[in-house]
Amino acid sequence: MQLILNDPLDMHLHLRDGEMLHTTAPLSAHSFSGAIIMPNTIPPIQSKEALLSYKQRILEAMGSENFMPLMTLFFRRDYDYEFLSNIRDELSAIKLYPAGITTNSEGGVSGFDIEKLKTPLEAMSELGIPLCIHGETNGFVMDREAEFVPIYEKLAAAFPKLKIIMEHITTKESLQALDRYENLYATITVHHLLITLDDVVGGMLRPHLFCKPIAKRGEDRDALVQAAVNAHPKVMFGSDSAPHPKSAKECPGCAAGIFTAPIALPLLAELFEAHGKLDNLQGFISDHAKKIYGIKPPKKSVILKKEPFTIPKNYGDIVPMHAGETISWKISQVQ
């Protein structure tokens, strides 16, 4: 049994920079046609010069692969129409982080006063630049995303022409908000479709399953699965594949992030098949994102075969999700 996925897209990807970039970029570029690249590098991507330089480093690191890095800026309140119009042709989205809520987000937004955000968000609305948001408060860890939903709704109502992407949603409350506002969309990761908090801390601590937003309850995971496998047109795949060296994961103060980029498609095929919805994977992995973002990525066909595949124990210095475990699908060919 085989499955062909056309132009797979990863609408939320961390490639990092420096030496790690040379490990991560080829792995994503091999099996995806394009990806939204996160800007929370060190230092963050906040200027046209930084964006173009980072894009060039990605292109060099990925080698001859047919792949489109879709670049983003790290949100700043002082972005205005003139600045954004000058970079619009190179820009696919702007990513907003609440300050200090996740990896390398210390320069993010504190407080969500609409008036203080008005200048960049009005310019983005006029220029058709989507706003991607890591939607968490600094409250109790299990409630952070649900507590952020009113902020999503406030922004959606105040800027109705602005496409707002609720990144890596993990709760049923976020899904409900998605259906209340025309300009709200969402990405869902493969790991949030597969695990709950019990998988992370219910037995021995599993640091390679620790991420932010943290995995939630079974009912939240099940709601996400139903939206994904039943082809909800406003949800799309975003891996939030977030590599860290093994030393930063297997230590006190474990870094948040799960590395799934090279195994995401086989894991998704396994999940969608289990629900009898393989035909809907094409929409989740590509078609919805093309329509939402209005993009035309390079043509690529990824052929998956139903055949046992043992996930490598590591990719360089990065340990992937389910390292050493065997799954039922594998990538057999890329055209």
| 297-332 pLDDT, tens digit each | 999 999 999 999 999 999 999 999 999 999 999 999
pLDDT value for 304? 98
Active site residue 240: yes
Instruction: Give yes or no for a contact between 169 and 224, defined as CB atoms under 8 angstroms apart.
Output: yes
- Choosing from 7, 10, 240, 287, the catalytic residue is 240
Number of domains in the chain: 1
Per-residue pLDDT reduced to its tens digit, 87-129: 999 999 999 999 888 888 888 888 888 899 999 999 999 999 9
Per-residue pLDDT reduced to its tens digit, 262-298: 999 999 999 999 999 999 999 999 999 999 999 999 9
pLDDT value for 110? 83
- Considering the chain, what is the average pLDDT of its residues? 97
Task: Give the CB-side neighbour count of residue 185, counting CA atoms within 13 A.
Answer: 25
Q: What CATH number does residue 129 fall under?
A: 3.20.20.140
DSSP string, 5-62: EES-EEEEE---SHHHHHHHHHHHHHH-SEEEEP---SS---SHHHHHHHHHHHHHHH
Mean pLDDT of the 53-74 span: 97
The reply to whether 335 falls in a domain is: no
Structural domain of 163:
10-263+275-295
CA distance 141 to 11: 24
The reply to whether 2 falls in a domain is: no
The reply to whether 145 falls in a domain is: yes
pLDDT value for 107? 85
Query: Is residue 136 over pLDDT 90?
Result: yes
The reply to whether 142 falls in a domain is: yes
pLDDT value for 308? 98
